[in-house]
Structure 1
Amino acid sequence: MAPASAPGPWPRLTVIGLVCLWAGLVIGVSFLATPVKFGAEGLDRPVALDIGRITFAALNIAEWGLAALLALVVVLGARTQPRLIAMLAIIVILLLQTSWLLPALDERTAMVIAGKPLEPSIHHMAYGILEIAKVVALIAWAGLEARLVARGMR
């Protein structure tokens, strides 16, 4: 039996659940729903972009909520160096998306809706690369936690 001070397996299992939920949410919105939306014949580009702007704003709020829950679990559970590094890496990605990329992409969306010409930019590509990095980090984190659960470690 574990000592009373040991947190038990709940932090690791909770982290696995939260990071899998987060990865699934990003995969569903960024890599499934968004490309499908732009393939819809009856949806013109300005409307699709406006829907995307609203969708990604909602996704961003959900991601910050999941980040807060994960931070709480990491703080209340066993604070290990790998957990803290994973949490920090994912939060840095989310900060870049929230503070730099989403505002720039929202501005570009407004320009398209207004019929203004756009100069080429790296914003969509940068956002996509960060989405891929975030999903890979989340899945790797879940895999590490699952491997440690299988070994019986906290």
Structure 2
Amino acid sequence: MLPRSTDPFPDAIAAFVSLVWLGMLLGVSFLATPVKFQAPSLELDVALDVGRVTFDIFSKIELGLAALLVIATFFPRAPRAEMVFTAVAVLVVSIQAFWLLPVLEMRVEAVISGEPLPPSPHHLAYTVLEAVKAVTLVAVGLVALFRLGWRVRPEKVAGSL
């Protein structure tokens, strides 16, 4: 088995990728998407179509970020916790991209074409997975930052209050 890496560069990449990905995830999934449905002048079919296109593109970006994160954590052999959190994030984005998004896209197409559909658990599942992904990205970023020597020092925090 290969020894764990002590080179700080992969940790810097992992921290950067995970936290940039987290920011994009929060902006797209937890801010822009819910807000768009609050706009009274935006018709439901238009909002759904915009959402479909947004999540299709964002999914491709996330798959690229997932690949970068895998390279930064698995190939230099990061600590087990960092690899587990990365694996969870990659698993979640894969489930979303290859199963949930196609199902949701079919539902959006049906709604846009005027076909009434019964409620389904797919949107809730996607939202729960987004939350899981956000937590794992925070965890990857924190593990990588700690390995880079980033520490919260209680005396510094108390002195700044």
Note whether the superposition's TM-score is higher than 0.5.
yes
Tell me how many residue pairs correspond in the alignment. 148
How far apart in 1 are the matches of 2:78 and 2:7? 13
Question: What residue number does 1:34 align with?
Answer: 33
| CA displacement 1:108-142 (0-9 Å, x = unmatched) | 10111011111110001000000000001100111
How far apart in 1 are the matches of 2:78 and 2:133? 21
Q: CA RMSD in A?
A: 1.8
Given that 2:86 and 2:137 are in contact with CA atoms closer than 8 Å, whether structure 1 keeps it comes out as no
- Once the two structures are TM-superposed, the CA of residue 49 in structure 1 deviates from its matched residue by 0.2
Question: What residue number does 1:139 align with?
Answer: 138
The farther-off stretch of 14-23 and 68-77 is 68-77
CA 1:75–1:140: 2 relative to 1, 3 Å: closer
| CA displacement 1:32-58 (0-9 Å, x = unmatched) | 110111111211000100000000001
Given that 1:11 and 1:78 are in contact with CA atoms closer than 8 Å, whether structure 2 keeps it comes out as no
Question: What residue number does 2:81 align with?
Answer: 82
Question: What residue number does 1:51 align with?
Answer: 50
User: What are the equivalent positions in structure 2 for 1:6-25 lying under 5 Å apart?
Assistant: 8-25=7-24
The secondary structure found in structure 2 opposite 1:42 is coil
How far apart in 2 are the matches of 1:147 and 1:41? 45
State the TM-score, normalizing by the size of structure 2: 0.85
Given that 1:49 and 1:109 are in contact with CA atoms closer than 8 Å, whether structure 2 keeps it comes out as yes
- Once the two structures are TM-superposed, the CA of residue 83 in structure 1 deviates from its matched residue by 2.6
Given that 1:7 and 1:78 are in contact with CA atoms closer than 8 Å, whether structure 2 keeps it comes out as no
The secondary structure found in structure 1 opposite 2:119 is coil
- Once the two structures are TM-superposed, the CA of residue 86 in structure 1 deviates from its matched residue by 1.6
- Once the two structures are TM-superposed, the CA of residue 77 in structure 1 deviates from its matched residue by 2.6
Aligned sequence identity (%): 38
Consecutive unaligned residues of structure 2, counting only runs of 5 or more, are 152-161
The secondary structure found in structure 1 opposite 2:19 is helix
How far apart in 2 are the matches of 1:96 and 1:28? 21
